[in-house]
Structure 1
Amino acid sequence: MSAPQHNTLAYRPEIDGLRTLAVMPVILFHAGIELFSGGFVGVDIFFVISGYLITSIILGELMAGTFSLLRFYERRARRILPPLFVVLTATLPFAWWWLEPEALQAFAKSLMAVPLFSSNFVFWRESGYFDTAAELKPLLHTWTLAVEEQYYLFFPVFLLLAWKLFARRWIFAMLLAATLVSLVVAERGVLRESPASFYLLHSRAWELLVGSLIAFYFSWRPRTHQRAGMLGELGALLGLGLIVYAICAFSQATPFPGLNALLPTLGAALIIVFASPQTWVGKLLCLRPMVGIGLISYSAYLWHQPVFAFARHISLLPPSLMTMLGMTVLSLVLAWLSWRFVERRFRDRQAFSQAQIFRLGAFASLLFVAVGMAGTLTQGFAERYPPDPTNLNAFDNPDIRATCDKDYDGNGWGIDFCRVGDVDGNPGNDIAVFGDSHSEAILPAFDVAGKQLGMGIVHIGLGGCPPLLGVDVVSHNYDPGVCESLASREFEYVKSHGIKRLILVARWTQYTEPGYDRETMNDNFLISQDSHALSQQASRAVFEASMARTVEAYRALGVSVDVIAQVPQQRADPKSLYYRLAQDQDESEDDKLQAISAVSVPIERHAELQRYTRHVFEEEQDQGLITLVSLDAAFCKNQRCLIGDAASWYRDYNHINAKGTELVAESVAQLLEGNRL
């Protein structure tokens, strides 16, 4: 995340201060501090700094006629590899102890990719940067190293060749054109909500190129150390303001890294261009604590993610704020030790020659690739503590729609209706079950009851799409318009097929609440034609209006509407819990049941999370518009809504599994028979 200094580039302490302004927001964002909701922009600041410093070094050597590709990559290896390999080594025993096989296999894949600087491709294909699961990935942050090293694989070669063929102004023009093209590509990717735009080089190169353009600018107009004028003061203050605004105002719902990324990148560029130890901003950045943290920023960045991820793994429940602040301090302590005894040591050419650096780098890389390959091929060394096969299968995705979805490409537009239950019966008696992924999770219970009662069940649903008319969801699941289009298709299906009964099932709080341990929502805001504001208040207003509109529209067709309230949402990961229990062979069954109860969500927390959505539904029910169905009794007893017993009832934090559907099967059958709960 940072670049080596070189004797062709004068040391600027304010740049180290700027590194602090980059790394600390990233760390505090990952720690879950709400004030730093946009702290992820620190990565963009790092890219600008890196592009500026390294291009400055290359230009200085090109102008002096001393540039060497071999020496360039030696400097990168000395700076990047030793602390990286120390951190990777430190993660291995903790991954072995605390990660269940599936998580360990995913870790092994990333471990294999890190020394090859390709982990950005691994994480791009796995999931989004802001997913809950992202907090549990110890090496997620290495995607930025991959982007940088991919850039520096080609950029020095390009400069070396272009320097011989073109004048400097033409090289600058080509880099400027590449910057604009990359920015356009990034913005188009953001509009399509493509995770590739976040992780891959083609949409991140422009941020590094911004730093490179600054270096070219200074090669024509070298910096001076004269007293700062008003332009310097204002330029640096504007840069600081842009960065602070992005850190505090951006959130996981902010489309990124397209045009919005201009704020932190231009902010960093302005500080690099205008700040000096004589400006107000420069004096702030040159304060000793700012410079000190900046010096260890690379190691701090390397350590914080694995420290945070393993803290979350070992606790089962989300760690407290104080715990995460403690982990932040630990990360900084480890960073100082890493900087003092690893970074500085390996940058000493007297201690390690060029040949030794390359040999050690190659050997360690091959070693980590081999370990990662072993973990991948053995499915996370699953034999370490194999649980009961029933428990192992408890975390699989439901396959009840497998035949219906065999030609579905996953983009949301092509999802089709699926008929279960008594599929040979009269379609005129079908009951519709619409919703998001929670509707699919409970669908096996409807399938069994439908077969018993001679009823056909028509289902359609997409994860993250509530069955509400006229709304869309701001998320990274699907293209804009998918959820709104799906709800319209659902309505037209009911209308055209003469269905007289509709059951709506969803994770309702996903669209109105931040969850158990957050103060603000992530990115699943509801928007409509009349409201595009991204706030909890606006999302709730859209939810109420769309719920009323949806019920009214279906009732106008003569359709009765039942709403199944959200099943209790858990705070602990059931997979980690049951693997942990399987690992402890000496613990009695009673002790295990007590442990399961201890991490299951308390009834009062469950009620608090769902208070708003239940209130909306109860008001509709009081007016005789819907029937509200609660499944709480199947899960909640003794002041806890249990995550399971000897076997898990959930496949993740909020979706029930096959065992969970067995618990609610009788209630679903009664619902289909018309006996209100």
Structure 2
Amino acid sequence: MTIQLSVSGLRHQMKYRPEIDGLRAVAVVPVILFHAGFPGVSGGYVGVDVFFVISGYLITTILIDEREKGTYSLLGFYDRRARRILPALFFVLLCTIPFAWYWIPPDAFEDYARSLAFAALFISNIHFIEHSGYFDAAAQLRPLLHTWSLAVEEQYYLLFPLVLWALGAFSRRKHLWVFLGLSGISLGIAEWGLRNYPLENFFFTPSRLWELLGGSICAAILMGRSQPRNDILALTGLAMILFCVFWYGTGVRFPSLYTLVPVVGTMLIILFAATDGWTARLLSLRPMVAIGLISYSAYLWHQPIFVLARYRSVSEPSHALMGLLILLSLALAWLTWKFVEAPFRRRAILAGRASLLTTSAVGIIALASFGFWGDVNKGVPERLDRIGSEYLSDLSAQFNEWRPQDICTEVEPVPGKLCTLHQPDNPVSRVALLGDSHAQAMLPAFAELSRTRNFTLMRGVRAACPPLLGVYLTYGRQDARECFDTMQAYVRDIDGSDIDTVFLVARWSLYASGNLAGEDAGFMISDTLGDQFQTQAGWKASFELGLDRMLSALRKADVRVILVHEVPQQRIFPENILWQAVSLGGTKTAAEARFKQSFIRRDEVDALTGYANKVLSQLAEAHGAETLSLNTVFEDEDAYVWFKDGNVLFRDTDHLTLRGALSVAPLIAETLRP
């Protein structure tokens, strides 16, 4: 039986393997469930790795076969790629624009617009590499985050035909050795990137090429041979993928050696799942094949639908709602497959190569131009003016208020050294602020007090770096090592100075137990550098050890220490709620009622911070330190608020705005000795 290969996206006559369609269903369903936030599929992201192997196998098989038959054409290859990829992609991208325009606030829209431009150019992974830092948009609020994998594949498609051209006529041994060699280099890059640039490494094409080449290796092995059957190996491969789906989590950093499990599992299925085998029969079931056929469109639709739903909700959407949105994604995927994908592949639309490539170029230019325009215009905040609400406009402006409180007086501040932020003529004391980005956000309060209370203010702040000693964050060797060294240097500075009071400020619960969504393995603490698989008990023990060492060192330096409890984390971005009020066009009263619905319950925050606050209190008592809670500023009945008396207090879920920082200044002032 021969049919057009819709799974690979290339129009080519070859023996149809329905189990490959079914395997694509195994890939896309976990990805969708993972992005929807369903429990039990913590490793659903491995579906993307399965996709990579499948793509590498199909593309390599077709290109080598065409070359051997003398029918290979580079223009023909890209014509088929464009017919498969661009129509559905452009359609989905266009559909997201009006919703993003009305529903997404300026800062997030700026990120969306830039990602739109980069997605149209098939380099969106570069955008996410450049914007994967601590303060960039959260993954669950980026409508086009999933396009990074399309970019990696398209970059592979640009390079791989050149590799095959250079290799010449097919030789199994030659091709296998080259594919294996390139895979080894790529995997080595992935391992190095994991240890030094873990956030960027995830999106980095050279770190991912070995996964696609895994499919190429399968193609070279099977080329010109009948499909072997080995049920044990094929079922083992399927079990390896499912193991990763259900047992991997955010603590397993990708890509890395751990990615070998789903990649090798996929290769075993491709190599040994013969049509009459158990695994092939399972994957060839009609529902599996049906989902596999629409998997590309389903992958395109699900992320923007989930994200836009989150922008319209005053809380995280329920599992029931996310289930309905999954059904909506699949329905739109079927419609897109039937009325967009299929007609272009059949050449019912733009049958000529020149017309297709010309239209594709126009589409790329138009989408990229709009995206860059939105990026250059900083998310087009003027969209707010269409409502004409001066009140909401004033609130929106509060997110960007700032003071130059973070300018060191030293001409050339030394990295890793405390710097002076305020130096009065006759200071009555010297105060140091140590901590992570929460300390940075609270700087306006200390800067204001340093002027009114006449003390010298020293800053020792590094984002995503807790004020602990002798322990490491588990993510990224280079970042973890720099954080470790920086805190050691700050303490040495304090020990050798006349500083008399030190405030320690951090998002303690994140480093002690996780966030509202559960454990965040990236911020686990370990006493061993690079320990990615820290147990929960070991995590807590390391957190306590690091804080104990910090307090011991500061007590030895003979300074007064005040441990500031973290401010109450919110569940939803305040700017999103404000933009909802803008887009709905309601009154001030209606807007504030919506704000109130989004406030987090006190019992949720108390449960989140309970362990960390207990450790802070116990160790403070043991070392003669003090603790300070700022929660009374944010209390309102049974909730902790992000908006109070006309003031926006949070600029995201956990960092204070300028007004939020100034609102806690009176409580900090009470701890300062005259």
Judge which range, 137-146 or 506-515, deviates more: 506-515
Post-superposition Cα deviations, 1:50-85, rounded to whole Å, max 9, x if no partner, equal: 010011011111111111112211111111111111
Retained in 2: the 8 A contact 1:464–1:477? no
In 1: Cα distance, 2:96 partner to 2:126 partner: 21
In 2: Cα distance, 1:546 partner to 1:370 partner: 50
Structure 1 residues 624 and 264: alpha-carbon distance in aligned structure 2, compared to 1, 3 A threshold? closer
Within a 5 Å distance, the mapping from 1:563-574 to structure 2 comes to 563-574=563-574
- Match of residue 462 from structure 1: 462
In 2: Cα distance, 1:398 partner to 1:277 partner: 68
In 2: Cα distance, 1:602 partner to 1:521 partner: 21
Structure 1 counterpart of 2:327, which letter? V
How far 1:130 moved relative to its partner?
12
In 2: Cα distance, 1:433 partner to 1:668 partner: 12
Structure 1 residues 325 and 128: alpha-carbon distance in aligned structure 2, compared to 1, 3 A threshold? farther
- Match of residue 523 from structure 1: 522
- Match of residue 151 from structure 1: 156
SS in 1 for 2:40: helix
**Structure 2 residue 181 is matched with structure 1 residue 177:** yes
Structure 1 counterpart of 2:149, which letter? T
Structure 2 counterpart of 1:378, which letter? N
Structure 1 residues 147 and 326: alpha-carbon distance in aligned structure 2, compared to 1, 3 A threshold? same
Within a 5 Å distance, the mapping from 1:273-312 to structure 2 comes to 273-312=271-310
Retained in 2: the 8 A contact 1:87–1:303? yes
In 1: Cα distance, 2:376 partner to 2:185 partner: 40
How far 1:305 moved relative to its partner?
0.7
In 2: Cα distance, 1:350 partner to 1:383 partner: 42
- Match of residue 210 from structure 2: 206
How far 1:168 moved relative to its partner?
5.4
Structure 1 counterpart of 2:550, which letter? T
- Match of residue 643 from structure 1: 642
- Match of residue 16 from structure 2: 11
Retained in 1: the 8 A contact 2:175–2:220? no
- Match of residue 333 from structure 1: 331
Structure 2 counterpart of 1:601, which letter? I
Structure 1 residues 399 and 292: alpha-carbon distance in aligned structure 2, compared to 1, 3 A threshold? farther
Give the TM-score normalised by the residue count of structure 2: 0.92
In 2: Cα distance, 1:317 partner to 1:595 partner: 11
- Match of residue 416 from structure 1: 417
Within a 5 Å distance, the mapping from 1:67-466 to structure 2 comes to 67-127=72-132, 133-163=138-168, 169-223=173-227, 228=229, 232-355=230-353, 356-386=355-385, 388=393, 391-395=396-400, 399-403=404-408, 414-425=415-426, 429-466=429-466
Post-superposition Cα deviations, 1:352-375, rounded to whole Å, max 9, x if no partner, equal: 413342233223222212322332
Post-superposition Cα deviations, 1:482-532, rounded to whole Å, max 9, x if no partner, equal: 22212211221121114333221111111123322x243342101114994
Give the TM-score normalised by the residue count of structure 1: 0.92
In 2: Cα distance, 1:148 partner to 1:64 partner: 25
SS in 2 for 1:36: coil
Aligned Cα root-mean-square deviation (Å): 2.6
How far 1:304 moved relative to its partner?
0.6
SS in 2 for 1:349: coil
In 2: Cα distance, 1:354 partner to 1:414 partner: 60
Structure 2 counterpart of 1:256, which letter? F
In 2: Cα distance, 1:596 partner to 1:623 partner: 41
SS in 1 for 2:459: strand
- Match of residue 602 from structure 2: 603
SS in 2 for 1:388: helix
How far 1:190 moved relative to its partner?
0.8
Structure 1 residues 309 and 141: alpha-carbon distance in aligned structure 2, compared to 1, 3 A threshold? same
SS in 1 for 2:653: coil
Post-superposition Cα deviations, 1:210-251, rounded to whole Å, max 9, x if no partner, equal: 111211111253425xxx4xxx12211221222122222222
Within a 5 Å distance, the mapping from 1:442-591 to structure 2 comes to 442-475=442-475, 479-516=479-516, 518-529=517-528, 532=531, 533-583=533-583, 586-588=586-588, 590-591=589-590
In 1: Cα distance, 2:145 partner to 2:412 partner: 32
Structure 2 counterpart of 1:52, which letter? Y
Judge which range, 94-103 or 190-199, deviates more: 190-199
Structure 1 residues 476 and 655: alpha-carbon distance in aligned structure 2, compared to 1, 3 A threshold? farther
Post-superposition Cα deviations, 1:116-147, rounded to whole Å, max 9, x if no partner, equal: 11111111111169976121111111111111
Structure 2 counterpart of 1:547, which letter? L
In 1: Cα distance, 2:278 partner to 2:633 partner: 62
- Match of residue 62 from structure 1: 67
Structure 1 residues 328 and 534: alpha-carbon distance in aligned structure 2, compared to 1, 3 A threshold? farther
Judge which range, 281-290 or 620-629, deviates more: 620-629
In 1: Cα distance, 2:402 partner to 2:542 partner: 30
Structure 1 residues 557 and 311: alpha-carbon distance in aligned structure 2, compared to 1, 3 A threshold? same
Structure 1 residues 626 and 334: alpha-carbon distance in aligned structure 2, compared to 1, 3 A threshold? same
Structure 1 residues 131 and 403: alpha-carbon distance in aligned structure 2, compared to 1, 3 A threshold? closer
Structure 2 counterpart of 1:189, which letter? G
Retained in 2: the 8 A contact 1:531–1:538? no
How far 1:23 moved relative to its partner?
0.9
SS in 1 for 2:648: coil
SS in 2 for 1:364: helix
In 1: Cα distance, 2:663 partner to 2:289 partner: 58
Q: Which runs of 5+ in 1 are unaligned?
A: none
Structure 1 residues 546 and 350: alpha-carbon distance in aligned structure 2, compared to 1, 3 A threshold? closer
Structure 1 residues 476 and 127: alpha-carbon distance in aligned structure 2, compared to 1, 3 A threshold? farther
- Match of residue 664 from structure 1: 664
How far 1:630 moved relative to its partner?
0.7
Retained in 1: the 8 A contact 2:398–2:657? no
How far 1:105 moved relative to its partner?
2.2
How far 1:614 moved relative to its partner?
1.7
SS in 2 for 1:514: coil
Retained in 2: the 8 A contact 1:512–1:536? no
How far 1:667 moved relative to its partner?
1.2
Retained in 1: the 8 A contact 2:156–2:209? yes
